[in-house]
Amino acid sequence: MTQSRPSIVIVGGGIGGLFAANALVGQGLKVSVYEQAPAMTEVGAGVYITPNSVRQLQRVGLGPQVEKWGAKVGARSQYFHHDGTVISDVQVTDTSGWNATYGMHRADLVDMLAKALPPGVVHTGHRCTGFERHGDGARVTFENGAIAEGDVVVGADGIHSALRPFVHPESRPVFSGTITYRGVVPAELVPEWPAESWLMWLGKGKHFLVYPLRAGKLINFVGFVPADREMKESWSAAGEPEALRREFADWDPQIGYLLRQVQTTFRTALFDRDPLPSWTKGRLTLLGDAAHAMLPHLGQGANQSIEDGMALATILANSDRSTVLAALLLYERLRRERTARVQSGARANGLRYDSFHDDLKLRDAEITAHAGFRKQLYDYDVVPVARELAMDLV
Ligand SMILES: Cc1cc2nc3c(=O)[nH]c(=O)nc-3n(C[C@H](O)[C@H](O)[C@H](O)COP(=O)(O)OP(=O)(O)OC[C@H]3O[C@@H](n4cnc5c(N)ncnc54)[C@H](O)[C@@H]3O)c2cc1C
């Protein structure tokens, strides 16, 4: 079986592609990652890492790095009304064995994932432009004239994936009507801020989220506000801090305390996609936002892409070149339903967070009860399920 183990080409070196590469290398498989950017970089904003993916980061040996670069989110995490009155506590710890939730700087997470790979796995400056079957394998072409071949190609190239049209040309991004202002404030500038807590304020058509990053040295904020016109989804558009301050001017004064220290923000329009009816065509499959772009209202886009990578590696580890097509279909079978539930759950949670409810008492009760949904999300371990499915390949 060793000689006929499949080789894998991953297009996209974001959180999803890089984690998948780590998981595949961990299984002893040959993998290459092709990223369009000239260097591995990420924007100055945070990502919330939850137990369902922390478990997988630990499995590939990155637990100590998560402890080092993450900021463990602890007690006193809460939801508030816009004026600062408490709605409910947020369940971020668990006695039944969770491995904790962490805020991480996106750049720290990408750097940690890239550095954990053996030299030569990641190829930057490669923008994928084409895909085709080639003999009994698959071939990817790049704008710079390079070609990569493998038994399997994984499109991990984000919400505007160049590879998804080879599976589903008709899929379109759906604009949510919301834009975000994101950024970080050094914790030393806001000494009164509770630096261990995940905090969210909910008002009509807007919400405001704060959690710590980088061992508590940075405080990450996201202001969600309505957009009056459709913006192209982008991480790099600069947002005006004064406009952000105006959006939340009459909210809890604690928000004003933080926002007074904001010097730069990124503005991002929020898009997702409807669940795809399938992710795989022959030797090409999709992963992360390319497969299931979702709104951030459950904080799961990156976490689900990490689950995808671990599922794919676990199943491919049990395949060989003769069973690899069946392996990709098993991967899709395992992941598509769960991620579709998270996609629709994120849309529903966005409506709760923006207070689009006739009865806000009922909304508050749903927010409180949401601890049950989060527990189910966080308790899930994709590996035993993937191993069991992969038995069908042997
Ligand atoms: C406001 C906001 C807040 C969020 N908060 C959270 C959170 O708290 N927790 C969470 O889990 N998720 C969160 N997410 C979602 C999360 O950021 C994404 O789901 C996650 O980054 C997806 O990773 P990915 O690797 O699939 O895609 P991406 O991170 O988009 O990576 C795709 C990579 O592919 C590369 N690429 C694109 N096209 C090509 C090409 N043609 N050729 C080669 N390379 C290409 C890109 O340069 C990029 O590096 C948030 C998202 C938003 C917008």
pLDDT in tens, the chain (394 residues): 445 999 999 999 999 999 999 999 999 999 999 999 988 777 778 999 999 999 999 999 999 999 999 999 988 899 999 999 999 998 777 766 677 899 999 999 999 999 999 999 999 999 999 999 888 999 999 999 999 999 999 999 999 999 999 999 888 999 999 999 999 999 999 999 998 999 999 999 999 999 999 999 999 999 999 986 545 555 556 678 999 999 999 999 999 999 999 999 988 899 999 999 999 999 999 999 999 999 999 999 999 999 999 999 999 999 999 999 999 999 999 999 999 999 999 999 999 998 888 888 889 999 988 888 889 999 999 999 999 999 988 7
Secondary structure (3-state) at 53: helix
Query: Looking at ligand 1, which residue's alpha carbon is closest to its atom 9?
Result: 299
Encode pLDDT of 211-220 as tens digits.
Answer: 999 999 999 9
Q: Is the CB of 285 under 6 A from ligand 1?
A: no
Top mutation candidate among 10, 36, 270 for ligand 1, by most atoms within 8 Å of CB: 36
DSSP 251-278: S-HHHHHHHTT---EEEEEEEE-PPPS-
Do residues 53 and 109 make contact, with C-beta atoms less than 8 angstroms apart? no
User: What is the rounded CA–CA span in Å between residue 346 and residue 276?
Assistant: 16
Catalytic pick from 34, 102, 181, 211? 211
CA of 289 to the centre of ligand 1 (A): 6
> Would you say the CATH fold of 174-271 matches that of 2-72+104-172+273-393?
no
Q: Give, for 145, the enclosing helix (H) or strand (E).
A: none
pLDDT in the model for residue 236 = 53
Backbone angles phi, psi at 228, to 5 degrees: -95, -10
Dist CA 309 CA 334 (whole Å): 12
Read off the pLDDT of residues 49-85 as tens digits, 9 standing for 90 and up. 999 999 999 999 999 999 999 999 988 899 999 999 9
Give distance in angstroms: CA of 154 to centre of ligand 1: 15
* Fold of the 2-72+104-172+273-393 domain: FAD/NAD(P)-binding domain (3.50.50)
- Look at residue 90 and give its three-state secondary structure: coil
**Level-2 CATH architecture, domain 174-271:** 2-Layer Sandwich (3.30)
Instruction: Verify whether residue 211 is a known catalytic residue.
Output: yes
Degrees (nearest 5) of the Cα angle 79, 84, 87?
A: 35
Both structure tokens of 79: 């939801």
* C-alpha of residue 15 to centroid of ligand 1, in Å: 7
Give residues with Cβ within 8 angstroms of 242, minimum separation 6. Answer: none
Contact 116, 29 (CB under 8 A): no
**157 touches ligand 1 (CB under 6 Å):** yes
> Where exactly are the structural domains of the chain?
2-72+104-172+273-393, 174-271
Give the closest residue (by CA) to ligand 1 atom 51. Answer: 296
- pTM to 2 decimal places: 0.95
Q: State the closest ligand 1 atom to the C-alpha of 159, by its place in the atom list counted from 1.
A: 30
Q: Three-state DSSP class for 232? A: coil
